[in-house]
Structures are given as structure tokens and as C-alpha cells.
Amino acid sequence: MDGGRLVGVWRRVLSLAWPVMAEQTFRTAMRTTDVVVTAQFSPAAVVAIGLADLYARFPLRIGLGLGGGAIALSSQDTGASATANRDEDVTQAVLVGALAGLPFVLAGLFLGGPMIAVLGAAPESVRLGGQYLAIVFATAPARHVALIGARSLQGTGDTRTPMYVNVVANGLNISGSLALGLGFAPLGIPRLGIVGVGVATAAANVLTAVALVAAMVTDWSDASLVRPRDPVIARQLVRVSTPRIVEGFGATLAEFPFNGILLGFGTNVNAGFQIGRRMYQQVTGPLSRGYNVAASVVVGQALGDGDDEAARFYGYAVTALGLATVGVIGLGLVVAAPAFVDVFTDESGAVPYAVTFARVYGLSGAFLVSFSVLSGALQGASETRVPLVARLTGVFGFLLGFTYVAGVVLGHGATGAYWGVGLQYVWMALVVLVGFRYSGWAERAAGMMAERGSGRSTD
């Protein structure tokens, strides 16, 4: 790679990515706070919130999927200076997301407890998890709007407005989880336990959605909400978003039997997995997400501007930046894992499993960030099918399949899970690398832009 050009790309990427990283730092800190707070109650509470979060990932996956479609189309249309189409992209994604959240409201109200029970959790975890899930699902439409609105603005190159909104909302969420979960006698706030943690999360979802919609209906942001009219954009939004949603759903569905397998090894193994994964996400998740978004933006805008060669260079350049940062930090986590685990729990039975899972994630960091960046680059080109194949074959073939064979059939227990977690990321990184190198994503993007009247023809 050209050194000077590479540094220039890195500077642009970091200018786009650091607000996303700051935003995600607060988001992951919020989720980490939830785990730390619930760990003060009991291991059953940690398992409850971990299992409830499995279901909470379904609205998350829909929001991220539609957000992926929005960021792809809005970044390309921004690069092509197709303002009217960009506003249609944003509006239709937000509207579809809000409607798609309504079924989750009903599911939380009537099926919260049974959904936790079907995973084989103990009665106390079922009770606590059902309460938490009902509260969080009640704001699923707002969660969708928040995710889609943020990515729509990011596609235009505005990564700061979502940061401002999410930092404030998640900061309040953290404070709320501590105050409502543990109680704060000087202000007369009672100890509500896991219910308080859920209320804080739900309130933050609503606040984020309202603030981002306000930004789009005022002059604060370049993107605006308009009356949706163009069915071509609606079809393309579904076309790009559907593989992302299926990818997320597949990954989430695989985690249900995976968590069931871990529970079969013992509650401490499952608790160790939840803590170890949360540690890794707290340390490296914000960087990976920032690079993912930045890759989508720079690749999508380059394609909108008609520069395929620059788009390809950007994909590789952001991957190199991810390896130089996240990959190195992951290795540091391998060494520092015991100290980090001490912050999360003092349950002696869960500690060794948490340390080992954290180390597995640390060793896998280079592969995970490569997958994240190249998936983002492909998403910016409207090519979401390759990451779908990579994710599903990784989670079903290795996370679930390898863990079951090695851990259950061959009797290696948690050791099988350690290998399953790591191997899935190695495989996923290899698949997207091949897809980015050899698939016709630039031509696909050009064809879709021409179809909606935003860019050049493929002729």
C-alpha cells in the first residue's frame, strides 16, 4: 500500500470512527454496568439478564439490519449528491423499523417468562429474566428508530450527532441502572433490582429515538424525513437489509442452543461466558463498531462518486488499521484477563471460566475485527450476502456445531466451547476476505444506484 495514501485514509477513517467509538464505549459501558449491577444480586440474576439479552438481540438485529440498508443507500447517495433519494432512504428505513418493533411489545408482555424458561434456566432466572424482557421489549419500536436513525446520519458522514445523543442517553442509562438497580437511599430511590436495570434501559431507548428524530425533522442534520414515495428505494432497502437481518437472526438463534449447552456444563460456565464476552466487548467492541461504520461510509461514498479503485483501497486500509489496534489490544487482554474478571465478579466458581473465555476472545480479536471491517465495506457497497454466508457458516458450523461435538459428544466440556468460539471468527474473517477480493460488489452497487436514479450506469 502507498504509505502516504494509507495515512490519509486512516486520518479520514478515524475522524469518522472516533465519534462512533465514543458512542459505543458508553453503550457497552451501559451493558457492562448492567452485568456488574446484576452480579451484586446473584449468579441467577447474571444468567437471567444474559438469557433475556439473547431475545433482546432480535429487535437489535432488525434495527441493525435496516440500519445497514440505510447506511449503504444514504452513503452512496451522499457520494452521488442525490439528496432527494438520500432523504427517501432515511425516511423509509425509520418508518419500517418503527412498525417492525410492535410485535416485540406484545411478545414481552405475554411471553417473557416462558421464553426464558424454554432455555432450561432455573425458576429464579426465569422470573427475573421475564420481568426484564417485558420492560425492554416495550420500547422495541424506539430501539429500532434509534439504531436506524443513527446509521442513516452516519451514512451522510455525520457521525457526531448520533454520538452526542447516545453518549447522553447511555450516560443517563448507566446512572439509572446504578440508582434504580441498587437503590439510593439519600434520594429515596428504592432498590428495584433487575426491574430497575430494565427501566433504565427502556428510558434510554425512548430518549435516543426522540432526539434523533428531532435532529432529522429540524435543520440540525443534513438528512431529513420526507413523505415516502419511491417504491424502488423501498425494494432496495429490503434487498440490502434482509441478508443483514437474517445474518443477525441466525447468529442469535444459534446462541440459544449454545447457551443451553453451556448451562449443561454448569451455571458457572454460562456465567463465565457472559462475563468473558462482556469484557471483550467493553474493551474492543467500540473500536470494531467504529471501523465497521467508517468502512461502510468511505466505501459507499467512493462508489457513489464512481471511484471503484478507491473503494477497494479503503476496505483494505481500514482492515489494516483494525489489525494494528484491535488485534494488539486483544493480545493485551489475554495477559490482563484475571485482573479484568475481578472487576466483574467474585464468584469463585465462575472466575476461571470467565478468564479463559476472555482470553479466547482476545486471541480472536484480529479475526473478529477483520470480519467486522470487511463486512462494513461490503455493506457500503450494498453487498450483504457475503457476510451472511460467513456469519451463518461460522456460528452454526463452529460456535454451535464444533462446541456440541467436542464438548458434548467427545466429552471435553467447556474446552470445546473455547475452541468453538475462536474458530468461528477465523472462518468468518476468511470468508469475507475472499468475498471482498473476488465478488462483484462494485458492479452491484453501480447497478442499484442506476436503478434508483442516483448514479452511473453499469453499461
What is the model's pLDDT at position 139? 94
What is the model's pLDDT at position 345? 62
Give the single-character DSSP code of 398: I
What is the model's pLDDT at position 344? 65
* Spans of all domains in the chain: 3-451
pTM (predicted TM-score): 0.84
What is the model's pLDDT at position 100? 92
Q: Which cell numbers in the block locate residue 168?
A: 447522553
Question: pLDDT 10s per residue in the chain (459 long)?
Answer: 567 788 888 999 999 999 988 888 777 777 777 777 887 777 777 788 878 887 888 898 899 999 999 999 999 999 988 888 899 889 999 999 999 999 999 998 888 888 888 877 778 888 888 888 999 999 999 999 999 999 999 998 899 999 999 999 988 988 888 888 887 777 778 788 888 888 999 999 999 999 999 999 988 888 888 888 888 998 999 999 999 999 988 887 888 899 889 988 988 888 888 888 877 877 788 889 899 999 999 999 999 999 999 999 999 999 999 999 999 998 998 888 888 777 666 666 788 888 899 899 999 999 999 999 999 999 999 999 999 999 999 999 999 999 999 999 999 999 999 999 999 999 999 999 999 999 999 999 999 999 988 865 443
> Cβ distance 304 to 79 under 8 Å?
yes
- Among residues 54, 151, 88, which one has the least CA distance to residue 452? 88
- Phi, psi dihedrals of residue 157, rounded to the nearest 5°: 100, -5
Cα separation of the two ends of the chain = 30
What residues contact 29, with CB distance under 8 A and at least 6 apart? Answer: 170, 174, 282
What is the model's pLDDT at position 457? 41
At residue 183, the 3 state secondary structure works out as: coil
Distance of CA 439 to the CA centre of its chain: 25
- Among residues 321, 294, 299, which one has the least CA distance to residue 310? 299
Place of cell 440540525: 220
At residue 336, the 3 state secondary structure works out as: helix
What is the model's pLDDT at position 53? 81
Q: How many residues are recorded in the chain? A: 459
What is the model's pLDDT at position 304? 92
